[in-house]
């Protein structure tokens, strides 16, 4: 077992454990922290694949901005523990095994279909190549994303604004 595979296994175990913890935790803040764990582990996996830029963006935007937004909203709404609803016994005894079977089936068939797929022997991707692609070939989609961000900003502002009483 090479060192790379060992690193992969550790990071994958952390990511899967975080995802399972996201499901099992009842308090939203614990779920949010589990999700941050998953995202940091995924950033490590991107580094392992030589995608440095994506790894940095993953940490900064996902781990930094988006999750801070989530934690901030949890704090703002003072979200408490998820109340236990009377989940019917059928949902409990049929739904949980079905969920487990779904995950295993998906992993099995995707793993089987791509078993013989080999990575091209390419070294570390340079961020310069990526930015050439992003700012030359994909410059219009890139500019469109700035419009998207602007519209999302306005939308969030309009939604969260307190209505003026008439």
Partner 1 sequence: MVPTSYFLVLSAVLFGLGVVAFVFKRNILTIFMSIELMLNAVNLAFVTFSRALGQLQGQVFVFFVIVVAAAEAAVGLGIVILIHRNRGTLNVERVDSLKD
Residues 108-147 that bind partner 1 (CB under 8 A): 110-111, 114-115, 117-122, 125, 129-130, 133-134, 138, 141, 145
> Considering beta carbons, is residue 111 or 166 the nearer one to partner 1?
111
User: 56 CB contacts (<8 Å, ≥6 apart)?
Assistant: 43
Lookup: tokens for 134: 């992003």
User: Least separation, in Å, of the C-beta of 99 and partner 1?
Assistant: 4
Residue 5 in the binding site for partner 1 (CB under 8 A): yes
- Could you tell me how far CA 52 lies from the centroid of its own chain? 17
Residue 1 in the binding site for partner 1 (CB under 8 A): no
How far is it, in rounded angstroms, from Cα 110 to Cα 108?
A: 6
Residue 70 in the binding site for partner 1 (CB under 8 A): yes
DSSP annotation of 66: I
Residue 90 in the binding site for partner 1 (CB under 8 A): no
Kindly state the number of chain residues that form the binding site for partner 1, as judged by CB under 8 A.
77
- Angstrom distances, CA of residue 80 to CA of 7, 38, 67, 87, 111: 36, 23, 18, 19, 39
Residue 50 in the binding site for partner 1 (CB under 8 A): yes
Residue 69 in the binding site for partner 1 (CB under 8 A): yes
Residue 20 in the binding site for partner 1 (CB under 8 A): yes
The neighbour count for residue 28, using CB atoms within 10 Å, is: 17
User: 120 CB contacts (<8 Å, ≥6 apart)?
Assistant: none
Q: Which of 10, 75, 94, 153 binds partner 1 (CB under 8 A)?
A: 153
User: Least separation, in Å, of the C-beta of 164 and partner 1?
Assistant: 14
Residue 58 in the binding site for partner 1 (CB under 8 A): yes
């Amino acid at each position: 077992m090479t060192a790379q595979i060992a690193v992969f296994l550790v990071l994958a175990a952390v990511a899967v454990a975080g995802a399972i913890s996201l499901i099992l935790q009842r308090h939203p803040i614990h779920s949010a922290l589990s999700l941050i764990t998953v995202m940091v582990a995924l950033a490590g996996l991107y580094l392992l694949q030589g995608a440095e830029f994506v790894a940095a963006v993953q940490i900064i935007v996902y781990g930094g901005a988006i999750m801070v937004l989530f934690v901030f909203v949890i704090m703002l709404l003072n979200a408490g523990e998820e109340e236990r609803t009377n989940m019917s016994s059928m949902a409990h005894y049929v739904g949980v095994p079905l969920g487990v079977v779904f995950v295993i089936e998906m992993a099995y068939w995707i793993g089987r279909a791509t078993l013989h797929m080999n990575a091209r022997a390419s070294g570390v991707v340079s961020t310069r190549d990526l930015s050439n692609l992003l700012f030359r070939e994909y410059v219009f989609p890139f500019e469109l994303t700035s419009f998207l961000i602007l519209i999302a900003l306005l939308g969030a502002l309009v939604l969260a604004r307190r209505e003026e009483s008439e």
